[in-house]
């Protein structure tokens, strides 16, 4: 009986320490959430960082909303996307609505030989903000070996989701370092926080974006550069194939307005209060339970898509 007392005491202190640790983490999370979303502090993002903002994938969804939000703050905007027609349309809308200068660069990010053109087009511009937003996902959840045209798909996702982030950062960062100020906002995904089976390549490429962002932030923050990894859950966009908004699926405009409040405060953010709560919950799940939920959801979505495709 006496020999059991030290063990019981040890377990008591382990339990107490665990509870205290969790309490501190929850308190810190609540304090940070209040600081960011409750107090409504406006981020120092505007022409003071540099006249121009560059947004890749800037004609739709989150990218377009970032372009509009930065223009609203008085920044001139460079839109980079594939369709010149869409670029012209969005560029015209931003100029008329926000009375700022715009510039467009039409390139296809699935290609690797586009960066000399981008470099030439950006030459001489004082770039204060870069939003690496362009991205590509799956048409529907699928097992790795069953992805249609797999070799081509692998190359496309790597070029768009990984290569573009590295190359655009390479082009813009030297000017920011020279002026000792600037912000790079890399749009990752919540699927980059956790492995997502049946979206394997997408999840892995977005994890790269998250890690890359954290590393570059640590390397250059002492030089006045803020690098942020933005990790949204579902947002009502074409990429997510969601049209209707809900309490946990905001519009692109609402999401970006919220995410902008975290710039300068959080180098890694889910960008939206409910998404941050969802991220915290998923982090607490044991891995076996998370993978069970993730696989079941992926298989259900896959079956629904294939059934619908068969009918058509």
Tens digit of each residue's pLDDT (9 = 90 or more) over 113-130? 999 999 999 999 999 999
Burial 137-165 (b: 16+ CB within 10 A, else e): bbebbbeeeebeeeeebeebbbbbbbbbb
Contacts of 165 (CB under 8 A, 6+ apart): 132, 186, 208, 209, 212
Q: What's the CA gap between 66 and 44, in Å, rounded?
A: 15
Q: What is the mean pLDDT of residues 46-60?
A: 95
Contacts of 176 (CB under 8 A, 6+ apart): 50, 127, 128, 182, 184, 224, 225
Tens digit of each residue's pLDDT (9 = 90 or more) over 34-43? 556 555 556 6
Q: In the prediction, which pLDDT does 240 show? A: 74
Residue 141 has pLDDT above 90, yes or no: yes
Q: How far apart are the first and last CA of the chain?
A: 72
3-state DSSP assignment of residue 130: strand
Tens digit of each residue's pLDDT (9 = 90 or more) over 173-206? 999 999 999 999 999 999 999 999 999 999 999 9
What the block records as the tokens of 96 is 């008329």
Q: What is the domain partition of the chain in residue ranges? A: 42-311
What the block records as the tokens of 276 is 């941050």
Q: What is the mean pLDDT of residues 69-86?
A: 97
Q: In the prediction, which pLDDT does 42 show? A: 62
What the block records as the tokens of 52 is 């121009």
310 falls in which pLDDT band (50, 70, 90)?
Answer: confident
What the block records as the tokens of 98 is 């926000």
CATH number for the region 42-311 comes to 3.40.50.720
Tens digit of each residue's pLDDT (9 = 90 or more) over 221-265? 999 999 999 999 999 987 777 888 988 999 999 999 999 999 999
Q: What is the mean pLDDT of residues 164-178?
A: 98
Annotated catalytic residues are 202
């Amino acid at each position: 009986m006496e020999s059991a007392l030290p063990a019981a005491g040890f377990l008591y202190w382990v339990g107490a320490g665990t509870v205290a640790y969790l309490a501190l983490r929850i308190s810190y999370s609540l304090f940070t959430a209040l600081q960011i979303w409750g107090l409504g502090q406006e981020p120092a993002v505007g022409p003071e960082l540099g006249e121009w903002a560059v947004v890749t994938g800037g004609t739709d969804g989150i990218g377009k909303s970032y372009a509009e939000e930065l223009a609203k703050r008085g920044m001139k905007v460079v839109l980079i996307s594939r369709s010149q027609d869409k670029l012209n349309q969005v560029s015209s809308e931003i100029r008329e609505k926000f009375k700022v200068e715009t510039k467009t660069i039409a390139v296809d990010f699935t290609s690797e030989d586009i960066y000399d053109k981008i470099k030439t087009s950006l030459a001489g511009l004082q770039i204060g903000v870069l939003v690496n937003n362009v991205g590509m996902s799956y048409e529907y959840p699928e097992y790795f070996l069953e992805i249609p045209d797999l070799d081509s798909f692998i190359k496309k996702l790597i070029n768009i989701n990984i290569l573009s982030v590295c190359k655009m950062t390479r082009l813009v960062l030297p000017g920011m370092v020279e002026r000792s100020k600037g912000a790079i906002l890399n749009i990752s995904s919540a699927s980059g926080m956790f492995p997502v089976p049946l979206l394997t390549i997408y999840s892995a490429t977005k994890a790269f974006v998250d890690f890359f962002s954290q590393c570059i932030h640590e390397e250059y923050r002492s030089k006045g550069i803020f690098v942020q990894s933005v990790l949204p859950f579902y947002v009502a966009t074409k990429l997510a194939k969601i049209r209707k908004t809900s309490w946990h699926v905001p519009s692109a405009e609402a999401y970006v307005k919220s995410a902008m409040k975290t710039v300068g405060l959080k180098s890694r953010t889910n960008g939206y209060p409910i998404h941050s709560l969802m991220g915290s919950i998923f982090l607490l799940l044991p891995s076996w339970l998370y993978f069970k939920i993730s696989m079941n959801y992926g298989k259900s979505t896959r079956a629904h898509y294939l059934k619908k495709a068969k009918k058509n």
